[in-house]
Amino acid sequence: MDEIRKLLETPVKDDLYKKVVLLAILTGLRFCDVKYLTWNQVRGERDSYYLQFRQRKTYKPQHVYISNQAFELMGERGNPEATVFPKVNYNYTRDMLKTWPKQAGINKHLTFSCLRHTYATLQLDHGTDILPYQNY
């Protein structure tokens, strides 16, 4: 959490990419799922927002509850078929994840995949069972 706070306090050139990174931390989504997320996959209302989509990597259907904060990072709702972040680019995001943490005083190699791990770690730290459907 301290490192996330440092990131939040450190300005970036492009607010769009800051929102994409923070959304990944808050949801655990892969870059490809953020990039291709459309507004018709963003559902619900305040205090009960969720994403309903098919993962691009595994093709498995997903129903992911998200916080109001995560929803607000997406900005104003657009056309249902439009992507939420139409201009997001992987290479730019990758490069930003090299420079932004350093500017924030975080000396770690970060990738978009690390954001998924951050999400999972935060969930575990707060007592969430991240394997509720595991077969025993």
Portion of the chain with pLDDT greater than 70, in percent: 93
For the stretch 2-48, pLDDT in tens is 888 998 899 998 899 999 999 998 999 999 999 999 999 999 999 99
Residue whose pair of structure tokens reads 């993962």 in the numeric block: 55
Q: What is the pTM of this model?
A: 0.85
DSSP letter (8 states) at residue 50: E
- Mean per-residue pLDDT, 65-73: 95
Distance between CA 97 and CA 99 in Å, rounded?
Answer: 6
112 pLDDT tier (thresholds 50, 70, 90): confident
Which DSSP helix (H) or strand (E) runs through 33?
Answer: helix 31-35
Q: How remote is the C-alpha of 84 from its chain's centroid?
A: 12
Q: Which residues pair with 53 in a beta bridge?
A: 62
Q: Which residue has the tokens 């997320």?
A: 37
pLDDT value, residue 107: 92
Q: Please report the pLDDT score of residue 136 as a whole number.
A: 40
Nearest to 37 by CA among 3, 70, 4, 14: 70
